Amino acid sequence: MRRKRKITCVVLILVWLLGTLYIFWDGMVENFGGSNKPFNLKSVKVEEYLKETSEQDVQEPMRKHAFNIVISNKLPPDRSLPDARSSRCLSHFSSIPQSLPTTSIIIAFHNEARSALLRTIVSILKRTPLELIAEILLIDDFSNNPQDGQLLVHIPKVKLVRNTNREGLIRSRVKGSKLAKGKILTFMDSHCEVNVGWLQPLLQRIIQEPKCIVTPVIDVIDKESFVYTRAPEILQGGFDWSLNFRWEEQPYKRKVDEIKPVKTPVISGSIFSVNKDWFDNVGRLDTKMDIWGGENFELSFRTWMCGGMMEIIPCSRVGHVNRKQHPYIFPDGNVNTYLKNTRRTVEIWMDEYKRFFYAARPSSRMQAFGDISERRNLRVKLHCENFRWYLEHVYPNLKLPVSDELAYGHIKQGDHCIDLDPGQLPVITKLRFCSESKMAQDWSWRRKGIIVSNGMCLTSDPLVTHDYVVVQFCNYGDNQRWYRHLKQIVHESTGLCIDSHDSGKGLIVADCDDSLDTQQWEITVENPASLEKEYLDNT
């Protein structure tokens, strides 16, 4: 009998301990913004608000929003999500001080699916301590139906500003940043769902590093099924020389703490938080960019090069619907708009490395990009580093397209540059006024002595080309090898020099005479000693 009583007492004590532990754990999760409980949405008549699905939407659910609107509308605004964090995050961040700053959450949208917009807002209110939210600032970028935003203004914390004209995501975000009251700005796309405990790690990191722009690990919400999939923590933002954003593994195997912030060369731009004062001082976003695209590169380069840094916070998780195409209209076309924005970034921040971008995207040279003097002045004012510093210290993993280059740029006499007539055969070189927009005037002098433009090599064969200097497919033969002597460019196999005395017809090779101005050539970037014959012969 006594044995049974002891067992009963032990069982009761265990039940009590487990119950106490559950209450404590549940409270800690709740305090850490971890609620996955149903959210009471009294201020919006959800069924009425979502009456936007037409018969055509049912037949073509991906057409209007580039994600499945039928599935999106069927999901509850407060649906539960799997906790995607490492198991160590909760215990680590449970000690976050309560005196965190407030944040203004800025959501710009244009003709967004109502169900996606509502679910974004509800996920924030459901999984964030309300005392940390200064406001949820909706910037309606002149949506076709003003009711998309107006019907949401009675939701707690929500404020609405509607643009009187289409401004685009970039200018709308800047507008929101100027109106925001929170000490921290959090920018978020209008088709996201925040996960449990997403905000506090971001705020804490900004307290530690006020000049750090932080972004969560961005989990994937499938555009067709809306299934929420956990993304790995070990990725960083990167790009290629055409400035296509990509996720990539860090350049070394991460042996440090899995919940430690990850430095990232660029961010995707869909969700990030930043100290408002720092954001204002460093120049916000480039408001002469249009609609969307390229602003994440401009912000990333500027932040790193001007004294800040960018990090991904592994214990912060936000889901994002990744669409393959844009569901809305770009007034100037999406390609032209993206190229304009990207050219602004390239011309302001990439210095001599911009030629690699133009080599990857030659058509972009034809796209106007507007006045950039104000942003260039900002770079000077902020005493920013150059792009070489960025490549060496921030993104050393980005390999240069050319590894054996000794000189590059324009080959010129005064304001005239070596140019091509690609429409004629053979392609004879001529002198024309220098132009930054002409790819045919960009030359690269390689280690073996070849001089390359657009994949073709500067060539001279007196018997075949009648002393004219032409371009031909590169064969790395003696007829394509050149070296520098003083300011002259000397053909290795003949010892003749490039001469422009009859440049209207074409450049020729002639007996070298260093007293002739027609044989004196400047190159934009060069180390003359590295182009001398003795050096080239030994490489």
> Does residue 33 have a pLDDT over 50?
no
Strands 212-221 vs 309-321: parallel, antiparallel or unpaired = parallel
pLDDT in tens, 316-339: 999 999 987 777 677 667 778 889
Cα 136 to its chain centre, rounded Å, is 24
- Residue 140: exposure state from Cβ atoms within 10 A (0-12, 13-18, ≥19): buried
Say yes or no: 114 and 207 in one domain: yes
Q: Which of 288, 270, 401, 408 is nearest to 344 (CA)?
A: 288
Q: How many helices (H) and strands (E) does the chain have?
A: 17, 24
Say yes or no: 288 and 153 in one domain: yes
> Does residue 245 have a pLDDT over 90?
yes
The number of CA neighbours under 13 Å toward the Cβ of 153 is: 12
Q: Are 488 and 519 in contact (CB under 8 A)?
A: yes
Token duo for residue 96: 């976050």
Q: Quick one: pLDDT at residue 26?
A: 44
pLDDT in tens, 77-115: 999 999 999 988 887 766 555 689 999 999 999 999 999
Strands 228-229 vs 212-221: parallel, antiparallel or unpaired = antiparallel
| Dist CA 402 CA 493 (whole Å) | 25
> Does residue 12 have a pLDDT over 60?
no
CATH number, domain containing residue 348? 1.10.8.460
> Does residue 372 have a pLDDT over 50?
yes
Helix axes 334-349, 295-305, angle to 10 degrees: 10
Say yes or no: 314 and 339 in one domain: no
In a domain, residue 284? The reply is: yes
Give 125's pLDDT tier (boundaries 50, 70, 90): very high
| Dist CA 62 CA 327 (whole Å) | 9
* Of residues 3 and 161, more confidently modeled: 161
Token duo for residue 3: 């044995």
Say yes or no: 125 and 145 in one domain: yes
> Does residue 256 have a pLDDT over 70?
no
pLDDT in tens, 298-317: 999 999 999 999 999 999 99
Lowest mean pLDDT among 41-45, 227-231, 253-257, 383-387: 253-257
Q: Which of 341, 196, 202 is nearest to 271 (CA)?
A: 202
Token duo for residue 441: 């005037």
| Dist CA 109 CA 322 (whole Å) | 15
Give 44's pLDDT tier (boundaries 50, 70, 90): confident
* Of residues 530 and 404, more confidently modeled: 404
> Does residue 205 have a pLDDT over 60?
yes
> Does residue 535 have a pLDDT over 70?
no
Which residue among 393, 413, 429 closes a domain? 393
Which residue among 321, 342, 361 closes a domain? 321
In a domain, residue 2? The reply is: no
How far lies 180's CA from each of 121, 175, 183, in Å? 17, 9, 8
pLDDT in tens, 496-531: 999 999 877 899 999 999 999 999 999 998 876 677
> Does residue 15 have a pLDDT over 50?
no
Say yes or no: 105 and 171 in one domain: yes
pLDDT in tens, 452-466: 988 889 999 878 888
User: CB under 8 Å to 382, separation ≥6 — which residues?
Assistant: 282, 283, 302, 306, 307
Q: Quick one: pLDDT at residue 211?
A: 98
Q: Quick one: pLDDT at residue 32?
A: 47
Say yes or no: 415 and 389 in one domain: no
Give 3's pLDDT tier (boundaries 50, 70, 90): low
Give 254's pLDDT tier (boundaries 50, 70, 90): low
Q: Quick one: pLDDT at residue 5?
A: 59
CATH number, domain containing residue 494? 2.80.10.50
| Dist CA 144 CA 147 (whole Å) | 9
- Whether the CA torsion 52, 79, 216, 104 is positive or negative: it is positive
Token duo for residue 295: 């602003």
Token duo for residue 129: 């301590």
- The DSSP line for 470-538 is EEEE----GGG-EEEETTEEEETTT--EEE-TTTTT--EEE---TT-GGG--EEEEE-GGGGBHHHHHT
The number of CA neighbours under 13 Å toward the Cβ of 358 is: 24
Average pLDDT, the chain: 88
Say yes or no: 377 and 468 in one domain: no
Segment (H or E) for 453: strand 451-453
Give 178's pLDDT tier (boundaries 50, 70, 90): very high
Q: Quick one: pLDDT at residue 25?
A: 39
Give 539's pLDDT tier (boundaries 50, 70, 90): low
Q: Quick one: pLDDT at residue 459?
A: 95
Residue 185 pairs in a beta bridge with 104, 274
Strand intervals (E) in 179-282: 184-188, 192-194, 212-221, 228-229, 235-239, 245-249, 262-263, 271-275
Say yes or no: 433 and 511 in one domain: yes
Query: CA angle at residue 410 from 406 to 411, to 5 degrees?
Result: 80
Say yes or no: 369 and 484 in one domain: no
Say yes or no: 48 and 91 in one domain: yes
pLDDT in tens, 340-353: 999 999 999 999 89
Say yes or no: 245 and 349 in one domain: no
**Containing structural domain, residue 467:** 405-537
Q: Which of 238, 275, 273, 262 is nearest to 311 (CA)?
A: 262
| Dist CA 322 CA 223 (whole Å) | 6
- Residue 322: exposure state from Cβ atoms within 10 A (0-12, 13-18, ≥19): middle
Q: Quick one: pLDDT at residue 463?
A: 80
Cα 218 to its chain centre, rounded Å, is 14
Which whole number is the average pLDDT over 10-28?
46
Q: Are 111 and 143 in contact (CB under 8 A)?
A: yes
Q: Quick one: pLDDT at residue 251?
A: 75
The number of CA neighbours under 13 Å toward the Cβ of 348 is: 32
Token duo for residue 243: 């400035």
End-to-end alpha carbon distance in the chain: 95
pLDDT in tens, 373-391: 999 999 999 999 999 999 9
Q: Are 341 and 295 in contact (CB under 8 A)?
A: yes
How far lies 393's CA from each of 84, 209, 352, 387, in Å? 31, 19, 17, 10
Q: Which of 403, 429, 420, 412 is nearest to 506 (CA)?
A: 429
Which residue among 355, 371, 393 closes a domain? 393
> Does residue 27 have a pLDDT over 70?
no
> Does residue 396 have a pLDDT over 80?
yes
What is the number of domains present in the chain? 3
* Of residues 366 and 74, more confidently modeled: 74
Residue reference for tokens 């209450």 = 23
In a domain, residue 465? The reply is: yes
pLDDT in tens, 131-172: 999 999 999 999 999 999 999 999 999 999 999 999 999 999
Say yes or no: 386 and 470 in one domain: no
Which whole number is the average pLDDT over 165-180?
97
In a domain, residue 354? The reply is: yes
In a domain, residue 18? The reply is: no
CATH number, domain containing residue 217? 3.90.550.10
